[in-house]
């Protein structure tokens, strides 16, 4: 029986990136649907859950994507409201690639802590610079879940506050907003942090090397960006735990390489059973097994 993946995309033009990975992850056939909303998804979801019998339902699955994470979260919730009893299929959320990218970045950063410790960062501080975007919010949430006291920065105090509140609510972990607009506020955001991650828009330099190399408390730096210049000066794209000025560093292509493996593994997993929901927690758990 053919493995069918229905790509419910909140954007007007469904992601071609997600389409390629869907096939590479094992879908035999991808059906992209554009501009899907919580209100409009019903017929598409019902067509998938009511067609194949119980033994074959696992060969149909749903992928929720698009560039807006909040829209994706709302769509995932709406999709799940149509499920009942055995009338369900597995579904994955990865709007803007935020879940797979954040899971890959955090799994790499925390790989040295190994299995079995769910809060390896308890008592430690971490800062997510320009964390107001989808990737930054997911990374902030995962670091918070790992026990860190997380600061999330924005150029605008209001955006920092709104994003930190979203993270705290979604992950049930505290998240402190900080505004960063100059060298002084950047120093304040970094103060005492063991981990610093730059999640600004592509090609935006946020952290000069001269600032981070002198900070004794900093141990780990990560930058998922792949478009030059890097968000953190002095990191190389393929850094995967390289030690620079005494700190472990992770670059965008090392994170991106794991993210792609992870995304493909998630697609494959969708077709193993018909009752899985792959959101950031499940995707992060899988990421940890890939780096172990
Ligand atoms: N390696 C991978 O596989 C992979 C996958 C996905 C994404 N990425 C990378 O991950 C990073 C984050 O992605 P994203 O989609 O979450 O980012 P985003 O939403 O495009 O941007 C994140 C934040 O950057 C800040 N920003 C925008 N322009 C800025 C500027 N000129 N100066 C300073 N700050 C600025 C904004 O925060 P404020 O306005 O609140 O300050 C914005 O909310 C990007 O570099 C992206 O390319 C990598």
Token pair for 141: 């949430």
Average pLDDT over residues 85-96: 98
Same domain assignment for residues 92 and 152: no
Please report whether residue 103 resides in a domain: no
Q: Which of 71, 140, 181, 199 to mutate to test the pocket of ligand 1 (most atoms within 8 A of CB)?
A: 199
What number of other Cβ atoms are within 10 A of residue 155's Cβ? 13
Same domain assignment for residues 118 and 240: yes
d(CA 214, CA 219): 11
Residues 6 or more apart whose Cβ sits within 8 Å of residue 207: 129, 186, 196, 198, 221, 231, 232, 233
Same domain assignment for residues 85 and 146: no
How many angstroms separate the alpha carbon of residue 78 from the centre of ligand 1?
27
d(CA 56, CA 197): 43
Q: What is the mean pLDDT of the chain?
A: 96
When pLDDT is cut at 50, 70 and 90, the band that residue 114 belongs to is low
Same domain assignment for residues 37 and 132: no
How many angstroms separate the alpha carbon of residue 199 from the centre of ligand 1?
5
Residue 116 has pLDDT above 70, yes or no: no
Nearest to 180 by CA among 202, 200, 210, 209: 200
How many angstroms separate the alpha carbon of residue 7 from the centre of ligand 1?
24
Please report whether residue 60 resides in a domain: yes
Atom 27, ligand 1: residue with shortest CA distance: 201
Average pLDDT over residues 162-181: 97
Residues lining ligand 1, judged by CB closer than 6 Å?
96-97, 101, 130, 132-136, 154-156, 159, 199-202, 204, 224-227, 252, 255-256, 259
Same domain assignment for residues 139 and 48: no
Same domain assignment for residues 133 and 247: yes
- pLDDT value at position 246? 96
Please report whether residue 185 resides in a domain: yes
How many angstroms separate the alpha carbon of residue 98 from the centre of ligand 1?
11
- pLDDT value at position 118? 82
Please report whether residue 140 resides in a domain: yes
- pLDDT value at position 117? 77
Atom 9, ligand 1: residue with shortest CA distance: 225
Same domain assignment for residues 143 and 119: yes
Tell me the pTM: 0.97
Q: Which of 11, 65, 135, 227 to mutate to test the pocket of ligand 1 (most atoms within 8 A of CB)?
A: 135
Residue 276 main-chain phi, psi, to 5 deg: -100, 145
Q: Which residue is listed with tokens 């809060």?
A: 119
Same domain assignment for residues 149 and 165: yes
Please report whether residue 204 resides in a domain: yes
When pLDDT is cut at 50, 70 and 90, the band that residue 292 belongs to is confident
pLDDT, one tens digit per residue, over 31-50 is 999 999 999 999 999 999 99
Question: Residue 229, preceding bond cis, omega within 30 degrees?
Answer: yes
How many angstroms separate the alpha carbon of residue 134 from the centre of ligand 1?
8
Please report whether residue 107 resides in a domain: no
Same domain assignment for residues 212 and 85: no
Please report whether residue 104 resides in a domain: no
Q: Which residue is listed with tokens 């033009």?
A: 13
Atom of ligand 1 nearest to the CA of 260: 3
Token pair for 3: 């493995």
Same domain assignment for residues 287 and 160: no
Please report whether residue 158 resides in a domain: yes
- pLDDT value at position 3? 98
Q: Which of 201, 203, 256 to mutate to test the pocket of ligand 1 (most atoms within 8 A of CB)?
A: 201
Same domain assignment for residues 177 and 216: yes
Atom of ligand 1 nearest to the CA of 256: 3
Query: Which residues constitute the domain of residue 167?
Result: 112-255
Atom 12, ligand 1: residue with shortest CA distance: 199
Check which CATH number belongs to the domain holding 186 and give it.
3.40.50.720
- pLDDT value at position 210? 96
Atom of ligand 1 nearest to the CA of 200: 24
Atom 20, ligand 1: residue with shortest CA distance: 201
How many angstroms separate the alpha carbon of residue 36 from the centre of ligand 1?
24
Same domain assignment for residues 53 and 165: no
d(CA 280, CA 3): 23
Check which CATH number belongs to the domain holding 20 and give it.
3.40.50.10280
Q: How many domains does the chain have?
A: 2
Over the range 190-222, which residues count as b (16 or more CB within 10 Å of their CB) and which as e? beebbbbbbbbeeeeebbeeebbeebeebbbbb
d(CA 263, CA 268): 9
Average pLDDT over residues 243-264: 98
d(CA 157, CA 181): 10
Using H for helix, E for strand and C for coil, what is the string for 248-260?
A: EEECHHHHHHHHH
Atom 34, ligand 1: residue with shortest CA distance: 200
Packing angle, helices 134-145 and 280-291, rounded to 10:
70
């Amino acid at each position: 029986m053919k493995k069918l993946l229905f790509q419910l995309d909140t954007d007007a033009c469904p992601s071609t990136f997600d389409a390629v990975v869907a096939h590479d992850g094992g879908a035999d056939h991808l059906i992209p649907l554009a501009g899907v909303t919580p209100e409009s998804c019903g017929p598409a979801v019902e067509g998938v859950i009511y067609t194949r019998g119980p033994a074959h339902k696992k060969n149909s699955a749903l992928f929720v994507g698009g560039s807006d994470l909040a829209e994706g979260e709302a769509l995932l919730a709406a999709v799940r409201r149509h499920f009942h009893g055995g009338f369900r299929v597995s579904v994955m959320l990865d709007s803007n690639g935020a879940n797979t990218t954040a899971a890959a970045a955090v799994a790499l950063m925390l790989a040295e802590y190994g299995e079995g410790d769910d809060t390896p960062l308890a008592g430690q501080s971490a800062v997510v610079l320009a964390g107001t975007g989808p990737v930054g919010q997911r990374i902030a949430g995962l670091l918070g879940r790992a026990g860190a006291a997380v600061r999330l920065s924005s150029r605008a105090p209001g955006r920092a506050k709104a994003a930190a509140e979203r993270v705290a609510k979604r992950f049930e972990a505290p998240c402190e907003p900080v505004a960063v607009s100059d060298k002084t506020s950047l120093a304040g955001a970094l103060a005492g942090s063991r981990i610093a991650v730059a999640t600004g828009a592509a090609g935006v330099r946020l952290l000069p090397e001269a600032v981070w190399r002198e900070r004794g408390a900093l141990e780990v730096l990560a930058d998922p960006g792949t478009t030059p210049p890097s968000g953190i000066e002095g990191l190389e794209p393929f850094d995967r735990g390289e030690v620079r000025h005494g700190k472990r560093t992770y670059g965008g292509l090392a994170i991106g390489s794991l993210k792609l493996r992870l995304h493909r593994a998630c697609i494959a997993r969708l077709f193993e059973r018909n009752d899985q929901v792959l959101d950031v927690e499940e995707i992060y758990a899988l990421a940890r097994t890939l780096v172990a």
